[in-house]
Amino acid sequence: MKYHPYQAKLFWLLIFFSLTFSTFAQSQKLFSYRNCSLLPITDSVGGALGNKVYESVETYLKRSGWCSYKSHSALLNVFARYRQNLRNHLLDSKVMKLVAEKLGTGTNIRIHLWQEPKGVNVSVEVIGSDGEEIVFSERSFVAEDSPPMLFETIKNWLEVYEASIPYDGLVIGVVGEQVTFDIRRGKKINIGQGFQIKKLIQKRKHPLLKKVVAIETKPIAKGKVFNVDHNQSLGQIKLYQDEVAVRVGDFVTLEKFVPNNVFDDRGRKSLTNTFGKLGVASLTLDIDSVTANIKKGTKRTIGGNIFGASAKGELWVTRNYFVLGEFSRRTGNLSKSKGDVEADPASSVNTNFKVSGGYKYLPLGFFYGPQIDLYAGYGINNISLEESSEDGFSDLSFSGFLFGFGGNVPILPQFRAFGRVEIIPFPTVEEEAGIYSNSAGNASSMLIEFGVNFWFNQSLILVGGFEMSSNLAKYSERVTEFNYKENVIKLGVAFNF
């Protein structure tokens, strides 16, 4: 069948729409040689041989440690429709580039088998993310058409290719002297293990074949690993070997691990890090500026400073899912600010309790970049004012299901800014003294918090924050509105555990 250009255009469109929904997630990833996918294996006998070998090669790649494998399952129907001209399509650099971009793979493995009277020729090519660069290319002749023999030949060539990859991982984040880098799934890595960062100088390619024949690099820094999370590691640079800045995309190679050669930042020998694996707990001292507005005919306002403390714990079920618990209590006296207030001063006690669970989105991994939290749970805000039926002061509680959005982001070495917005959209308001003759017809409870964390070391964090909250209830009789506003300065510490 003749190969027409319009078929190639349609082929690209089908690939594009088949993978549209994965674009955002993959856009955050670097094109690493260690992120690979296997293209359909083509042959000269209508797929009868290639399909049998494909299953064995794909199983090997999924189980191997050197390749973070991405399946082409979303494209199988597209490839099937172009079976007769598939080889020509897979040789098209534009198709290869589009597949790499949508799957987030640094390389695509292209294999072709063609039979001869006395055996089978095997071609193995590893194509770079630009669709044109040939990272690896070899051919062999197998003196029989046995799928197991063909698989062993292909496997041997892929192992040769793996040994030629010039890095164990790539730098994916830099904050001062801290670097985050990805690590291949099968690579064992230890806390305290040394690593070296190298800068790519150039790739030498064959002038005619476009095949990469050599990759030149230059060492620029050395460091130690001090935390590991799934397929990422966090390291501290200890020595700069060149006056060149470390950048995202630089190569990382791991050194041989020597257990007795682990040092912390002060140069003393230390054990492997056991902190930061389960969660974080914080305790802050609070200075709370309170304003309470009560409308009972005229507007009456009391205000002042009350003092207390807040405790908060975040338990990580996984790096992405967490459970959150909070408790705070503040007390003091409030004085008249506006209107005819009989009780002056009036005591105030504010107690809050919340429990929730949520999802932590990590676009650049757990250690580097923003951490975006979405969570939901249940909260109770108890506001106790010295009871006065004349003024309209009473004990109220705002409770209900809460929803929150927040997160944190690095701003300077060892500093992270954090913030959150939290709301109880339809709170239940309860008042036990009976001063308010009917239930609240309209109520709201909202909190906004922001601040900065300073990472003193791996386990201790200094916390400074500012919190604003409002609890509002409106009525139709006697007392027509109650609004309790807080502006809280928080200073304290947090511990990784």
Q: What are the DSSP calls for 277-332, one per residue?
A: SSEEEEEEEEEEEEEEEEEESEEEEEEEEEEEEEEEEEEESSSSEEEEEEEEEEEE
CATH 2.40.128.100 residue ranges in the chain?
A: 279-496
- CA dist 75 and 96 (Å) reads 13
What's the gap between Cα 205 and its chain centre? 36
Superfamily in which the 279-496 domain is placed by CATH: OPCA outer membrane adhesin/invasin (2.40.128.100)
Assess if CATH 1.25.40.80 describes domain 5-164. no
What are the start and end residues of each CATH 2.40.10.410 domain in the chain?
Answer: 169-254
* Whole-structure pTM value: 0.54
Model pLDDT, residue 13 = 53
Q: H-helix or E-strand containing 7?
A: helix 5-18
Q: 169-254, superfamily in CATH?
A: FlgT, C-terminal domain (2.40.10.410)
Q: What is the pLDDT along the chain (497 residues), one digit of tens a residue?
A: 444 555 555 555 555 544 443 333 333 456 788 888 888 888 887 778 888 899 899 999 888 878 888 887 766 666 666 666 778 878 888 888 888 887 878 889 999 998 888 889 999 999 988 888 888 888 989 888 888 999 999 999 998 888 888 888 888 888 777 888 887 666 778 888 889 999 988 888 766 666 787 788 899 899 998 877 767 788 888 888 888 888 888 999 888 876 655 433 333 333 333 334 688 999 999 999 998 888 776 777 888 899 999 999 999 887 789 999 999 999 998 887 766 666 667 788 899 999 999 999 887 666 666 889 999 999 999 988 876 666 667 788 899 999 999 998 888 767 889 999 999 998 988 887 677 766 777 888 999 999 999 988 767 889 999 999 999 888 776 667 888 899 999 999 998 87
B/e letters for 78-112, b = 16+ CB within 10 Å, e = fewer, are bbeebeebbbbbbeeeebbbbbbbbbbbbbbbbbb
pLDDT at 479: 64
* DSSP per-residue letters across 124-144: EEEEETTSS-EEEEEEEEESS
Cβ atoms of 227 and 273 closer than 8 Å? yes
| Burial classification of residue 24, based on how many CB atoms lie within 10 Å of its CB (0-12 exposed, 13-18 middle, 19 or more buried) | exposed
The pLDDT score that the predictor gives to residue 389 is: 65
Report CA-CA distances (Å) from 205 to 90, 202, 208, 209. Answer: 21, 9, 8, 8
Distance CA 488, CA 383 (A): 15
- Partners of 280 in the β-ladder: 314, 496
CA atoms in the 13 A half-sphere facing the CB of 402 = 27
Q: Which helix (H) or strand (E) holds 36?
A: strand 35-38
Distances in Å between the alpha carbon of 441 and those of 299, 428, 435, 438? 19, 10, 15, 9
